[in-house]
Each structure stands twice: as structure tokens, then as C-alpha cells.
Amino acid sequence: MGNQNNLWNDYQRRFLKIVFGFLECIVQFLFGLVYGGKKEAMPPITDLMLLESASSIALKIRTKKITCEQVLDSFITRIAEVNPVLNCVVADRFDDARKEAQAADQLIKSGTMSEQQLEKEKPFLGVPFTTKDCIAVKGLIHSSGLFCRKHIRAEEDAAAIKRLRQAGAIPIGLTNVSELCMWWESANNIHGRTNNPYDVSRIVGGSSGGEGCAQACAASAFGVGSDIGGSIRMPAFFNGIFGHMPTPLSVPLSGQYPSPVSEEQERFLRIGPMCRRAEDLLPLLKVMTNNLPALRLDDPVDIKNIKFHYQESDGGSKMISAVQPDIRELFGRVCLHLEKAHNIKANKVSLKRFIKSAPMWFANMKSPNGPTFAEQLTNLEGKINPWWELVKWTFRQSNHSFVALATCLIEKGGCRYGDEKYQYLVEERDAFRLEVLDLLGDDGVLLYPTHPTSAPYHHEPLVKPFNFAYTGVINVLKLPATHIPMGLDRNGLPIGLQVISKENNDRLCIAVARELEKAFGGWVPPEIDA
């Protein structure tokens, strides 16, 4: 009887998967008609310095081959070129940044610190960077895309920003996010919507979507994002850059809004680097973690000593898009490279619990007494009436996005904290975590899709809201992961994959990122005219 039930459930799941795929094709066709022919050209990169890594720029600054002011001017000019088309940078501090660049140039010119001292104590001296509008930068707006926070200014830097400043880096602006950072398209009622640099009719992801876009179009030397369900890795995927979600608690979360509402969420949420070049990941992570000894970031990694495992899909979840062929093919290409270059035989696995990724994420995000989303939308000063706001939204009178209102309405759906279904999904997460840890050991990594499709059209995520589960499940498993760009698909949109390791083995993820960048090219600039 049990086998018959399982068989029936499997048939039912497959049928629903086919229906969902059919509807998805129709919707994508309709969106293609709506957005087709509406492409707006993004200004090409004409300044070759913008193509360099943050580490290379820092080296040239401290060796006096270029000044901090020259670098800053290049990025300010770039932002002015791209922002009217992409809308990725939503606030700036150019005047203060220029003063800080002048001070950095004076420090170098004075000779009071040797090049070796500068490299050790201020490894990113004079390098301009951006961060998303939910991570505090003193004096700048700190809204997290929430309309009622549009006049709030950060009184001090977030801990991660403070550490980067101590390393000499200069914050120059904030980038766009989704409302309260809880959706995977970056649009809100303060700053508007951000467009993809490879096709402006496509999304940039969320919630660090503005940052992913800024890196892809070379609007700053590197960026800082945060990730509780894929908010670093999805934008990195959609925009063709690198993004690292570190080991839980390795980078302080102070200065991030909204804050985690439970001890569990503190381990799900991470702050990490986003950049165009893999060589920047390790030095940025060293700064942001204060080179935490447990991470052993100074230990050399030999790619030949890493055990590679891979899985090409979640196993066929019925409400999640199938992994597109261009992305599936990446795994074969990686396996072939590893075998030819390093005589490594990657191990294909089939972890069945991946199919429960979305339910596990939603259940594990529940908290016993945290504020509701309706309360968070008021900046914790009361709560909104989502039904009334939805009526207002229909007439364009609401200060909230449709997605935020929908989140309020469905928040009480599914399981409740502590009920039978919640306990089951938490136990499943715990069992899955042990299964993955056993697979990885101390020297293994798992290659897995970052997302099942390349960047969809604007608003298209509403039709496939659970696609984020490919990244979200890694958060609730409490593991570090790096997104690795692997070129463009047949539509000219970025694709790639994520590499996952055991906690404190971030260095393995980053070593794999560097290896695959060397083999497959990494970031592909949208357009260059030198």
C-alpha cells in the first residue's frame, strides 16, 4: 500500500511538473512579446582600468602607477554613464570619497608607510567600492528599500564596512535592493527598478541586485552584499560575477537592516564580497572576517587534493523551473576539465532531499516571536493592513510593492512555528545537513546550480517564485558557497554554478572559483569599446 501511495505521489508530482512547465513556456512567450524590441544599449566600457581586479588597482595605487583620485574619477564617470539606463546606484558620497582619495594619495606620497606596510595594513588603500542599501554606510540613506525609511540616515558604518575602511577601501555609493530585501527582483517605491546590463528587459536578481549590476557594468571596484536566501549568489548569477556567502557568523551582521529575528536566522544571514575577478574573493574575505583563524584563509589549497561532487538539479520539484540545458551542460564541461587538467574524477550524486528545498527554507525561517512582515513594513511602528494596501496599490497609491503585500498575505500560510509540519521540515533539514556534511568531509566540495534559468524578464519571477530555493536551501543548511560565472547562454545572458563546502572551508570554494575562472574565463564584460 505504501509503495502504491509513493507511486501515485510520484505520478502526481510529474504531472504537476509538466503543467507548470507548460504554463511557464506560455508566460515566457508572452513576456517576450511585451519586452521584445525594447532593448536599450548600455554604454560600453571605454576605460580599461575598469576591467582590472580590485587587487590589481590597489597594487597600482600603492606603487604610484596611478593615483586614488584618478581611480575614483574613473568610477564616478562610469556610474554617470550607466546609471540612467540601469539604475543600480541609488545614493552616493562622491565629495567625501574624493577627500578620502586625496588623503590616501598624500599618505602614499609622504612615504611614512612602505609598500610592504601598505600591502599588509591597508591592502585596498584608495579602492572605491559600493554596497547595498541595507548595509549601513555612515551619512547615507539606510532604507532597505522601505518607503517609511527613506529619510533615515546611517549614524555609523556597519561592521563589515568599517573593516573595509580600515583596510583603506573607500565607499562611494549604495546600490538598489528589493523591498526589505525579501524578493529576488530589485525594485522598490523609493529607488525604482534596476535593469540587467546584458539585457535591460531582464532582472538583476535580489536582494543584492543593484550590487550585482554595479559589478557587472564596472561601476565600482568591488561590492558588499548580504544573503539569507540567495541574495548574493542569485544577483551574482544573473549578472555574471563572483559572489561569496561565507561561513555563518564569520562576518559580523551589525549594521544590516532588517536584522535577524532569531538565533537560527543569524546563521542563515551572511554578509560577503561580490566582485568581477576571483582573485579578489580571498583578500576581501580576509578583511571582512578579520582573517578569522578558524577559516584558515592563509592555508594554501591544491586543487588536486579537493574531492569534487556534483548534482545537476534538485530532482524535479513540481513548482520550480527545470534546469535549462545551457546550465546542465556546464557540469559536463567542468568534469571534463577536472579530468584532463588534474586527473580528477568528479562524483555525480543524487541527494533526494534537495527536492524539499523550498519547504525547508520557509519552515526554518519561521521564528517563535519575531515581528510579522506586516509589522516590518512599518519599520516596527505598528503594522499595515495588507488588504487595504492592496486596494491602494491597484490605484498606485500604496507605498509598498505588490510582492511585499503578497508576502504579508501568505506569511501565515504553510506550517506554523512548532507545529507538526514545522518539526518535520526542521528534522529533514537537520538530516539533510548531516548527509551533506558526511559527503563533503574536510576536503570536499559540491557543485550545484545557482539558479535553474538565466535572468528572467522583469516581473516574471511572480510566476515562478520558488526558483530561489536552489540558493535558499544552502542558507538553512548553514554552509558557505560561492557563485562562479561560466560565460553566457544562447541568449547572451550570464550563467554559472555554485560551489558549496563545509563550514570554515570557504578557502576551498574560492580555490575552485579561481580554477574555473582560469579554465572558462569568468566574468564576460557586457560591452567594451577601447
Q: Which of 207, 208, 226, 317 is catalytic?
A: 207
Lowest mean pLDDT, pick from 36-50, 51-65, 287-301, 334-348: 36-50
**Active-site annotation holds for 53:** no
262-288 as b/e: b if 16+ CB within 10 A: bebbebbbbbbbbbbbbbbbbbbbbbb
**Active-site annotation holds for 207:** yes
Give, to the nearest 10 degrees, the angle between helix 357-364 and helix 420-440.
120
- pLDDT of amino acid 12: 73
CA distances from 206 to 252, 461, 508 (A): 21, 11, 26
The rounded distance, in Å, linking the Cα atoms of 14 and 16 is 5
Does 211 score more than 80 pLDDT?
yes
- pLDDT of amino acid 21: 85
- What pLDDT digit, counting tens, does each position of 390-435 carry? 999 999 999 999 999 999 998 878 899 999 999 999 999 999 999 9
Share of the chain above pLDDT 70, in %: 97
Q: Which of 132, 138, 356, 502 is catalytic?
A: 132
Residue 22's pLDDT band (boundaries 50, 70, 90)? confident
Does 10 score more than 80 pLDDT?
no
Query: Would you state the cell numbers that stand for residue 511, as one nine-digit string?
Result: 580555490
Q: Which of 216, 229, 176, 247 is nearest to 479 (CA)?
A: 247
In the predicted model, what is the mean pLDDT of residues 267-283? 98
Query: Would you state the cell numbers that stand for residue 21, as one nine-digit string?
Result: 512547465
Please give the domain boundaries of the chain with CATH numbers for all domains: 49-289+303-366+415-520 (3.90.1300.10)
Contact 211, 228 (CB under 8 A): no
Does 249 score more than 90 pLDDT?
yes
Q: Which of 231, 250, 313, 317 is catalytic?
A: 231
Question: Within a 10 A sphere around the Cβ of 116, how many other Cβ atoms?
Answer: 9
The rounded distance, in Å, linking the Cα atoms of 140 and 160 is 16
Residue 3's pLDDT band (boundaries 50, 70, 90)? low
The rounded distance, in Å, linking the Cα atoms of 270 and 509 is 16
- pLDDT of amino acid 7: 64
Contact 186, 174 (CB under 8 A): no
Amino acid identity, residue 366?
K
- pLDDT of amino acid 4: 60
- pLDDT of amino acid 383: 95
- pLDDT of amino acid 8: 65
The rounded distance, in Å, linking the Cα atoms of 242 and 55 is 14
- What pLDDT digit, counting tens, does each position of 302-355 carry? 999 999 999 999 999 989 999 999 999 999 999 999 999 999 999 999 999 999
**Active-site annotation holds for 231:** yes
Maximum Cα–Cα distance across the chain: 82
Lowest mean pLDDT, pick from 30-44, 56-70, 80-94, 156-170: 30-44
In the predicted model, what is the mean pLDDT of residues 146-174? 98
For 297-338, the DSSP string reads: TTS---GGGPEEEE-SSSS--TTSPPPPHHHHHHHHHHHHHH
Per the prediction, the chain carries an average pLDDT of: 95
- pLDDT of amino acid 413: 80
